[in-house]
Amino acid sequence: MINLTINGKEQKVDVAGDTPLLWVIREHLQMTGTKFGCGAGLCGSCTVHINGEAVRSCQTAVSEAVGKKVTTIEGLDSKGQHPLQRAFVAEQVPQCGYCQSGQIMQAAALLAKNNDPSKAEIVEHMNGNLCRCMTYARIQRAILRAAADMRGV
């Protein structure tokens, strides 16, 4: 048995310690907001937070998450109203939507540390997250909007 804390809730799962956290979250716990895109750390669809840091859950063994705080898109905000979530709706960012949980989780880690990022900082931080629908321009705009919102401007 492995004990995890996900979105503030204790979870017990019966899996091998080397199982990627992604599959534990998605398939065992059926929290499907976190997505599988490449399984190789190349696309960012599976991004979650561990102790506030954005990590690729496909590259993280479940054993590494023990004793740490895991946050998924479902737990980013209890009402789904994180400034980024509101901004992604306001800018009408998602197309197919599949990459968007990962985009939002990746961006949330940036804004938690830096609520006034430059465009270059955004690009650097987000470049590992692929969007096959190529919503990049809107993602940038939404991050800037959310940052402004968080700064209260």
Residues that bind ligand FES (CB under 6 A): 36-39, 41-46, 56, 58, 94-100, 131-133, 135
Contacts of 44 (CB under 8 A, 6+ apart): 37, 56, 99, 102, 103, 106, 128, 129, 130
Q: Which residues pair with 11 in a beta bridge?
A: 4
| DSSP conformation class of 33 | T
Residue 48 in the binding site for another protein (CB under 8 A): no
The residue from 55, 126, 146, 147 that contacts another protein (CB under 8 A) is: 126
CA distance 11 to 137: 37
- For residue 80, the partner it binds in ligand FES, another protein, none, with Cβ less than 5 to 8 A by kind, is another protein
User: What mask, x for binding another protein by CB under 8 A, covers residues 2 to 41?
Assistant: -------------xx--xx--x---xx-xxxxxxxxxxx-
- Matching residue, tokens 């990962």: 102
Provide the binding-site residues for another protein, judged by CB under 8 A: 15-16, 19-20, 23, 27-28, 30-40, 42-43, 45, 72-74, 80, 85, 88-89, 92-101, 104, 122-124, 126-140
